[in-house]
Amino acid sequence: MSDTEAMADLEQADAQRAELQQADAQRVEPQQADAHRADLRKRAQELDTADELGKHREKFALDAGTVYLDGNSLGALPAHVPARMADVITREWGELRIRSWDESGWWTAPERIGDRIAPIVGAAPGQIVVGDSTSVNVFKAVVAAARLSADDRDEILVDATTFPTDGYIAESAARMTGHRIVPVDPAAMAAAAGPRTAAALVNHVDYRSGRRHDLPGITAALHAAGALAVWDLCHSAGALPVGLDAHGVDLAVGCTYKYLNGGPGSPAYLYVAERHQAAFDSPLPGWNSHTDPFAMTPGYEAAAGAVRGRVGTPDILSMLALEAALDVWDGVAIEDVRAKSLALTDFFLECVRAYVPEGRVTSVTPDAHDERGSQTALACENAPAVMAELIKRGVVGDLRRPDILRFGFTPLYVGFADAERAARVLAEVLADLPG
């Protein structure tokens, strides 16, 4: 045999060995994958068993076969709310009628419910009033902040990545008060604040990516520049500690139908720090915020305290549904909610990495805990079709066009088995749909 023939035989043998090794690896890999999946399912069960917040799940109306991961858009219904609303409608409205403004406490509901939200967002009583929509409260807060600032401050910084309505409202408020809008990325907000800055409107958690912005740091930087801090808490209140009082926030707004489970269209809230209440000048001075509403005088005189944030007659039905929904927070520490939220999102992302082939999805939610809210956002090709199929298969998340799959983790009723199942079904959907 020639040297050339011997070399060819060796190369052929090496190739055959490589093929056999690859075949062995392919035979072992599914076994390893199955073992990993079994381990994840086992860990999910163990984590759920040890979860102190897990007992709250039974307080919500949830389908046994559905994983509901859209509480960052609409919180699940607390199971006791329908009975409370039946009483409101049949007895308070149906029997007592007009007497319920006094006898059922309707008139004082905006402040009473505000005081129930206060500990969830780290505020002392008397600084939050409930009523109107988030958009209306953003308008009140931005205009009031502009009016509280010095006359030579003519700019309002706005989170450049903000939920669109905040930007629309802020721009209108700026026109009305003679200010100009300056869009700024939240990471650059502290550096952007200067001697012309009246106020800044910033989202605590980005609605699209789930990124948590530095509320303490940005607030301190704005104050150092002589400006006021206005925060949108829609994607943080009820999901993580906010610390409005501790961090010196000036004004804040938030919705109640996400992590606070108030129901579709439930009223929003406005926080006015006590130190600003005497000078708070609302652009919507309705009769409900008058110092003597039933005097019906032509001249407006603002009431004292958080009542200044009221405008017109409260939406009693949705407001009292919210009040009942807040019962699920009795005895719950927001710090415990935050700890479980981080554990859930960590575990979900681990399951996604284990189940979903590399390259099919990319997390745009920060890995760092101090930069993460309570949702995970995955960039995914053909995201609308993927989310539609997920929902058909019992995993309900939502979509932000063009390519973001959002999964909200609400710790009071979402468990670790939910997270594991969601990742597993996502992998199955991606396997069935073209890449």
Query: Which of the residues are catalytic?
Result: 163, 232, 257-258, 406
d(CA 400, CA 408) in angstroms, rounded, equals 13
**Tally: H helices and E strands in the chain:** 12, 13
| CB of 318 closer than 8 Å to CB of 267 | yes
Nearest to 210, CA basis, from 374, 80, 331, 329:
374
CA 192 → CA 162, 178, 199, distances in Å?
16, 20, 11
| Cα angle: 271, vertex 336, 81; to 5 degrees | 65
d(CA 423, CA 360) in angstroms, rounded, equals 13
| CB of 403 closer than 8 Å to CB of 384 | no
| CB of 130 closer than 8 Å to CB of 114 | yes
SS3 assignment, position 343? helix
Structure tokens at 50: 């040890």
SS3 assignment, position 9? helix
Burial class (CB in 10 A: 0-12, 13-18, 19+), 247: middle
Residues in the chain: 435
CB neighbour list of residue 247: distance below 8 Å, 6 or more residues apart = 122, 215, 216, 219, 220
Amino acid at 187: A
Is the Cα torsion angle 305, 308, 309, 311 positive or negative in sign? positive
| CB of 305 closer than 8 Å to CB of 126 | yes
